[in-house]
Amino acid sequence: MIEFDSVSYAFEDVPVIDELSLSIDDGEFVALAGANGSGKTTLLRHCNGLLSPDEGAVLVDGRPVEDDLIAARSSIGMVFQHPRDQFVAATIGADVAFGPENLGLERSEIDRRVEASLEAVNMAGRETERIDALSGGEQARVAIAGALAMEPSHLILDEPFTGLDDPARRSVLSRLESLAENDTGVVLATHDLRDVIDLADRVVAMRNGRVIVDDRPDRALAGLDGAEVRVPRC
């Protein structure tokens, strides 16, 4: 479970997160919406200690993130907006293996995780391919596999679809849907709720560092307008 307990955060003196409270259960698929600058990325960066709250607390499985950064980073897989920037190796297999290797796991366990993670994103058997030769959609899936190889309880994706065309987005989304069905919590920050409206259990929308809507997707849409997010036309 991820809990934000009255979290406030400012860059220099500019408040960005404002006494925000929110809980995300294991296995939930949450769409995090909001206009540019509403604070989505800043909030998500608190989940694995990249940022620490000025006030309040962020808890992962009941423990403040900063009390045990390694535990928090093992529980939370993060995929950022431009997956290209987070690759650490030239080939798919080496990149996905990097996290488990840092955990000091046995080679057989590392290999098992790499295989299972690539299978989960529909890229089984492609370990030796070079990442720089992949399409954007394939790179997004490799980044997700890298996060999954840590066997996180939650996967947090910060607008992972930037620059992807519709087929690539749909392919990644269908993978995320099956992960959520298998009990990995998914938090997906997006401007475009059309992507996730059929998949999400909840839509949380932010404005000026606060939660303005937190509801089932159908009801959340009724409370949002095009200024916050791009909503599906029904």
Neighbours of 215 (CB within 10 A): 15
Q: Does 42 engage in binding with ligand ATP (CB under 6 A)?
A: yes
Q: Per-residue x/- mask for ligand ATP, residues 2 to 21, rule CB under 6 A?
A: ---------x----x-----
List the one residue from 3, 15, 41, 162 that touches ligand ATP (CB under 6 A).
41
List the one residue from 18, 28, 40, 87 that touches ligand ATP (CB under 6 A).
40
Q: Work out how close the CB of 26 gets to ligand ATP at its nearest, in angstroms, rounded to a whole number.
A: 24
Segment interacting with ligand ATP, rule: CB under 6 A, options 34-42, 84-92, 114-122, 143-151: 34-42
Total of residues contacting ligand ATP (CB under 6 A): 10
List the one residue from 7, 20, 34, 72 that touches ligand ATP (CB under 6 A).
34
Q: How far apart are CA 36 and CA 191, in angstroms?
A: 8
Q: Does 162 engage in binding with ligand ATP (CB under 6 A)?
A: no
E strand intervals along 80-176: 154-158
Q: How far apart are CA 205 and CA 226, in angstroms?
A: 12
Nearer to ligand ATP, 13 or 106 (CB): 13
Q: Does 219 engage in binding with ligand ATP (CB under 6 A)?
A: no
Token couple for 12: 């220099």
List the one residue from 6, 23, 37, 88 that touches ligand ATP (CB under 6 A).
37
Q: How far apart are CA 23 and CA 57, in angstroms?
A: 12
Place of tokens 């519709």: 166
Q: How far apart are CA 124 and CA 131, in angstroms?
A: 14
Q: Does 38 engage in binding with ligand ATP (CB under 6 A)?
A: yes
Q: How far apart are CA 7 and CA 52, in angstroms?
A: 9
Q: Is 166 helix (H, G, I), strand (E, B) or coil?
A: helix
Token couple for 131: 């990442």
Q: Which residues bind ligand ATP (CB under 6 A)?
A: 11, 16, 34, 36-42
